[in-house]
Each structure stands twice: as C-alpha cells, then as structure tokens.
Amino acid sequence: MKSKPIEISFTPADNLRLANLCGALDENLKQIETALDVTIARRGEHFSLSGQADQIKLAAQVLRNFYNQSQHYLSIEQVQLGLIQAINPHHLPDPTNTDALATSKAAPALMTRRSNLYGRTPRQAQYLQQIQEHDITFAIGPAGTGKTYLAVASAVDALERDMVARLILVRPAVEAGERLGFLPGDMTQKVDPYLRPLYDALYDLMGFDKTSKQFDRNTIEIAPLAFMRGRTLNQSFIILDEAQNTTPEQMKMFLTRIGFGSKAVITGDITQTDLPKHQKSGLVEAKQVLNQVRGIAFTHFKSEDVVRHPLVQRIVNAYESYDEQKRDD
C-alpha cells in the first residue's frame, strides 16, 4: 500500500550539482526508481518521491547521499554501487571509507590494474581470504556475485607476486540451451566464444597489451575442460568456471590434475545448469562429496552478494521465490 509522497528540496539551487545528481536525461534518477521501486518527480531542485513507505524513505536517503557526492560527476557504476550499498547496508562496506578497507583483514589487497578492487560483501571478502589460505576453493552462487571475476583477480595477483608460474583458465564447452551447430576456424577459434568472460576479466585486470604478451609466452592458457585429461599442472593457478556444467566424471578428472605448488578455484551456479536433464552436475556431487574434506573451502553466495545492476538481485530473488513456489505446489 502506497503512502503519502515525500518531498525533498536541495536549496539553494546549484545547477551543476543537480545535473550530476540526476545524470544525463535523468538516468541516475531512473536507476534509483528501478532499484527501489519508487517514482521520482522533479521540478528544478524540488523532488517528490512516491511508493511504499519504507522504499521512499530509503530513496530519500539515497538522494541525499548522492547529492552530497554531486560536487563531482557521478557515473552509472557509482550510482549502482551506491544503490547496492543502500539496499544491503549490513552486508556491504562503505566504498568511500578507504581506511576501514585498508585495515580490514578480511579484504586482502590484490596486485591488479584495478586499485579499487576488494570484497564488497563479507562473503566476497571471505572468498578472497579462502583462496589465499586454501589450495582448492569452491564458489557456488547466483550470477553477479563476483565468483569468476574475483577468482581471476586472485590468479592475476598470484602471478604478479611470482607465487605461480602460469594461469590456466578452464571451462566446459557446453551450449546454454542452444544448438550452435558447426563453428568455423581452428580449435582456438571454436572454443573462444565459450571462454569470452574469462578474456574480459583478464583484459580488465591486466590490460589488453600485457594480457596478449602473457598469452604469447604461454604464461596464461585458456582451455576447454575436455583437453585437461592426462595433464599434471604444477606451479599453476587453475580456475574452472561454469563448473555446474561438468559431469561428475569430469569434475573428478579436473580435481586430480592439480600438482605441486598449485591452487584451484571452482566456480558455478547450480541453478543454471545446461546439462541434459538426466545428467547430474559434477559441482552438485562435489559439494556433497568434498564438503568435509580438510583443506578444501566452500563459499556459498546469496542474492545479497550480487554486485551488478540493482535489478539483477531482484531477478535472482524472483526466480528463487518462483522455484520455492513450484516445489511447494
């Protein structure tokens, strides 16, 4: 049930700050409306917020927070991260509090091109800590929780510190519910589309030129899971991404490839399996088989750990509610 609208005025009017607050074509206001399910009407420096009582109170606080930062340009990314912080105040640290982040033991510093990279939720910070402290780490949870990106960041950090000699990024080449048919080109060109998210993370964390040089030196290798049989991987940081699409046999095969001085991170979302319906996921089985094995860590991410567009968290929650309703029926 909607309540009485809240009125906010930022006086005296400062057109530059108002422009930074609202964004081009009021894009920042639209982000707030979408994330918090409110309606914002604006006339000059006057804002009227309507919607559910608790949501418009939160939206009013968000507007005030962003106005306090509006001396400078506010990017869409800043706005979306600020909205995630507002929606989950008990789960996310304040990204502007650099002292707290620097002194937090739960947020290990990583040597990558992104100086502002850290665990934005307690589970993300725990995940980074587990990767550093364990030789095998599993990350299970919905899209947008940083499973792959933080694993690649940790791998780049290990390479920069000479803790490993190479990075090996692995994915099962399983189509996401589509039949793509014959793909032209050599083997590398055939598997590249499946591995593109890993390339994107590397380019973001190392830069295009440095990443390309590491590929040329075979310091970084990207391989489909099917090519891992028979190998022993020493002094390597190995990431198995989209592990929900492995079979139990493939998962066992991958885990037994790990050699001396190596680390492995296995990531996946068990709610987005693209295997045939009769086929059990290797990630699901590994979760059951290895849960009590000492030296192996598990991080289970939830929807509140989603650090993407604020709508992603609502989409994840909606699907979880729908699946629960189907089970109850």
Q: What is the DSSP string of 44-98?
A: TTEEEEESBHHHHHHHHHHHHHHHHTTTS---HHHHHHHHHHHH-TTTS--TT-H
Interval 263-319: pLDDT, tens: 999 999 998 888 888 889 999 999 999 988 998 999 999 887 887 777 777 787 788
Instruction: Give the pLDDT band of residue 100 (cuts 50, 70, 90).
Output: very low
Q: Among all chains, which residue has been given the structure tokens 């608790």?
A: 54
Instruction: Give the pLDDT band of residue 199 (cuts 50, 70, 90).
Output: confident
Report angle CA 128, 132, 137 to the nearest 5 degrees.
Answer: 75
Give the separation between CA 298 and CA 290, rounded to whole angstroms. Answer: 9
In 3D space, the residue among 149, 123, 106, 126 whose CA is nearest the CA of residue 301 turns out to be 123
What pLDDT sits at residue 109? 75
Mean pLDDT computed over 219-234: 86
Q: In the predicted model, is pLDDT for residue 145 greater than 80?
A: yes
Instruction: Give the pLDDT band of residue 47 (cuts 50, 70, 90).
Output: very high
Give the separation between CA 13 and CA 55, rounded to whole angstroms. Answer: 25
The full set of domains in the chain, from first to last, is: 6-87 (3.30.1370.10), 100-328 (3.40.50.300)
